[in-house]
Amino acid sequence: MKTKILIIILVIFSLTLSNFIYSQTDTSKNKIDTNKHDQSEISYVMIQENPQFPGGDNELLIFLKRNIKYPKLAKENNIQGTLFVEFIVNRDGSIKDVRIRKDTNYIGYGCEEEAIRIVKSMPKWIPGKYSGNNVKAFMVLPITFKLEIQPVKDENNK
């Protein structure tokens, strides 16, 4: 039951293209005195400004559409599905630690490898912010593999 609820929540977020945005984990304190810590090591539970793909969500969709190469084996076997790719957007906007969420239903046939490849190939993002400072942020991006239906040519109507 909990798994079904989690899947439903994930699908809702993917349909609205809302990225799950959390920061690295440090839940031991509600308020962090940034003057006492090295800024590169601070992790936040909530951030004030979420990381963004350069140009926003529309540019992200264009980037994905132009650059995803549907795996040949997946095409041949009519494989479709959505994968949730986790990654960290660093303070400088670079991406690291790219992987498929463990609770994602794997679809195989090279789709996981392609989803990871495409995220790793992305340009630097606009980093997340907390108190005006760039911070690392944990992201989950849904990537859907869907075959386009090709119209069937009618032999009688050439």
156 domain residue, yes or no:
no
- Answer whether 120's CB lies under 8 Å from 100's CB: no
Name the least confident of 33-42, 66-75, 122-131: 33-42
Domain that holds residue 49: 2-145
Residue 19 within a domain: yes
Over residues 68-78, mean pLDDT: 96
The answer to the question of residue 45 being in a domain is yes
Tell me the range of 2-6, 45-49, 80-84, 147-151 where mean pLDDT is highest: 80-84
Q: Does some domain include residue 155?
A: no
Distances (CA, A) of 122 to 14, 17, 65, 67, 113: 19, 17, 12, 10, 15
Among 26-30, 50-54, 102-106, 150-154, name the one with the lowest average pLDDT: 26-30
Domains contained in the chain, number: 1
62 found inside a domain: yes
* Position 153 in a domain: no
For residues 65 and 75, what is the distance between their CA atoms, to the nearest angstrom? 16
Residue bearing the bigger pLDDT, 15 or 56: 56
Q: How far apart are alpha carbons 135 and 26 in whole angstroms? A: 13
In a domain, 124, yes or no: yes
- Average per-residue pLDDT in the chain? 77
Residue 158 lies in a domain: no
- This model's pTM is above 0.75: no
Check residue 149 and give its pLDDT.
75
Strands (E) across 25-79 are located at: none
